Structure 1
């Protein structure tokens, strides 16, 4: 092999079929590697504390345990074939193949979808998305779900829903990507998908026997939300797959959308109930974060304020006016925040997206309404409808099938639900 040194500050790798090494920026790899570690913290530390604190004191450990078991099992699935189905270079427009199963050829040489990163670092970063997305779903069945049937469901949902959605939206040949839907960091593929699945779970299980259960720890809810807010910077900014000005702008708009969502949701709560509640503060932050996720790589800070505020309005109207009138016990508002927020964020992306932001990352898009591209919101709706319906139908079918397996009833027995899922399943409180 000819000895060709890469410049200082770059990483070298062996190019397949070539005698010369390739070079890639080191700073991008370090950025994504650090972001991966932070995103991992969100699963047990952020989402686990949030869900554990929101539920009743008799189901705290169960909710946190499913966060762990789901993330672990899905990570193994990602190693076996999940990553390959999502991002393989030779996949179709509908789903990937098994060319990278068992992480074959996933090493220092970049993937086609991430040419500036070692494939191994790109894989690990995307594994965090794959691990946390299905776990969001369990909020729809809080206080009445069993650990192992739910873990099996999350594994199957990741295979038959999430891997497909990622292949469509972010895969090399994805049909939604070619169709022109814009989803920078997972508004449709993550939040609409998990929200629809959470709704299916809530409908399948039916209502809790006792809905009037106080949250186990609002302190944990607030702290968990803070950790989620912290990690969301890396989920959104890291989706540029490079440390550039587009990534910095993505971090900026993420923060201000969360702030706008928090203020708007809290003001609506104060007008409605004459109180400033922790529930409004937390839900407002999450609504703003969910709303900005599909748009973070496409909009300027001024637009992020509008997206955060409008998404919070939509989520508040659902959770406080619409949901109480329907017989669905979405215990932790999984659909109300992630589903409704994801839909609002996707549509608003079609309104506010502009090519000027993507030029910071070295490429252009047609833009949304602000750029005179009037069709973009309709393209956004196509992705929302297809992914939302697919996720809901497949989720319900998977729950129905798992529930028929001997010993794998998804819902707790009535007496165990009354006594508490922690004591019944884990022998602890």
Structure 2
């Protein structure tokens, strides 16, 4: 959804307009607007930027790190850290420009241009045309945090068996070939946004995109040695619980921050986020209790994340009743994806990147087309299931094909998997020369 009018970003009560010191530069790039500062909204987005970054480091790092075996904890945490470092550098060089720069075809663009490469033309006086109440540097930083967590989520699918060199190359290429084009197509002025595809905070751009990529990676790499035979239970669910708590808190910046203002839409997005997470946790646990006869902490935490994923595309577009419905459906749907579907098809999505993020994102995106209401957000007036389905098909296809091509490049350059002996010994030591001491 990520498009707000100038009026929506400016509070009449505050009305803090930038003076001569923040005058627009003589020539603006195609995607830019003069900065008309809303200090309250800028303060909220500064906070949200920190919250979303918290989701990756240390949130996702601990969430994933606790779910793997002891011998692979550091290697798994290294994936989140590497994704942050690589994507941040790429975002500065060209990623931001490809994602949010002008493609020259506002109605059917597929990718942005290179006008803002190395942040050329960005000054304290400029704003992105989508958010004229925010300094462009702040907009860049906030959108960067979304670009960081997306490839980090994929790492959950190939954990415990991929070469670190392959993951580095994968993150590099995936950001440029998959993330930036999809981000532009949905949020940056491209054809999906123009069609009316609604994605308030990243159900398609982040979660479906990452989930599908994770499924492709799991299929291409194949299962871990001993999968289905050896004990691969999480080594430390306390780490996972702490990580999930950090994800929950950070998700308020993820969803409520995507209002781009400190306003009523941000408030409803925040409440919807908490409600959907709680509803999905209850629903997942209920299904698990019936299926396995015991409720688990891992199931409760997984359900919490499933609800967060499901409500992401709808957070600022539905009322609390809609958020509750999304949560109640997302929990069992993601349980089915992470447990029953994976078991039936016998693929090894190590940490359920597809089962939770792919399935949850698809469910949430489709339900957005059904439950979005203009009474909450005028942008929901054109919501419909067909547009949402078209957008999902496009994102799934682009992500699947692009990810497969990137994995083939990695396979014939760095190689994909570590040797069997190294996998058995553990990636912490064989890939990084480090271990966790008892």
With structure 2 as the length reference, what TM-score do the two structures score?
Answer: 0.90
Q: What's 1:199 paired with?
A: 215
Q: Which residue of 2 aligns with 1:420?
A: 426
Q: What is the CA-CA distance between 1:327 and the residue it aligns to? A: 2.5
Structure 1 residue 343, shift from structure 2 partner: 0.5
Residue 150 in 1 paired to residue 167 in 2? Answer: yes
2:234 and 2:103 map into 1 onto residues whose CA distance is 48
CA shift for structure 1 position 198: 0.2
1:65 matched to 2:78? The reply is: yes
Distance in 2 between residues matched to 1:30 and 1:290, nearest whole Å: 25
Residue 122 of structure 1 corresponds to 139
In the alignment, structure 1 segments of 5+ residues that lack a partner are 1-6, 369-375
Q: Does 1:39 align with 2:56?
A: no
> In the alignment, what sits opposite 1:393?
401
The count of residues paired between Structure 1 and Structure 2 equals: 407
Q: Paired residue for 1:99?
A: 115
C-alpha contact 2:179 2:205 (8 A) present in aligned 1: yes
CA–CA distance in structure 2, aligned partners of residues 237 and 91 of structure 1: 30
What is aligned with 2:410? 402
Moved over 3 A (4+): 7-12, 89-92
- Tell me, yes or no, if the aligned pair for 2:35 and 2:133 is still in contact at 8 Å: no
SS in 2 for 1:357: coil
SS at match of 2:348: coil
Contact residue 15 and residue 38 of structure 2 kept, 8 A: no
Distance (whole Å) between structure 2 residues aligned to residue 310 and residue 298 of structure 1:
17
Q: Map Cα deviations across residues 159-183 of structure 1 (whole Å, 9 max, x no partner).
A: 0111001100111x31001111110
Provide the residue aligned with 1:242 in structure 2: 261
> In the TM superposition, what is the alpha-carbon distance from 1:91 to its structure 2 partner?
4.3
Give the distance between the partners of 1:312 and 1:135, measured in 2 at CA. 22
State the 1:392 CA deviation.
1.1
User: Is the CA contact (8 Å cut-off) linking 1:141 and 1:330 kept in structure 2?
Assistant: yes
User: TM-score scaled by structure 1?
Assistant: 0.92
Partner of 2:181: 164
Match in the other structure for 1:15: 24
Confirm or deny that 1:209 pairs with 2:217.
Answer: no
TM-superposed CA distance for 1:192, in Å, is: 0.5
Is the contact between residue 101 and residue 114 of structure 2 (CA under 8 Å) also seen in structure 1? Answer: yes
Instruction: Look up the SS of the partner of 1:356 in the other structure.
Output: coil
Name the SS for the 2:70 alignment partner: coil
- Cα distance in 2, alignment partners of residues 91 and 298 from structure 1: 29
Aligned-pair Cα RMSD in Å: 1.5
Matches within 5 A, 1:26-425: 26-89=39-102, 91-92=104-105, 93-108=109-124, 109-171=126-188, 173-211=189-227, 212-359=231-378, 364-368=379-383, 376-405=384-413, 408-425=414-431
Structure 2: how far apart are the matches of 1:184 and 1:118?
21
Is contact 2:35-2:132 (8 Å) kept? no
CA shift for structure 1 position 356: 1.2
Match of 1:3 in 2: none
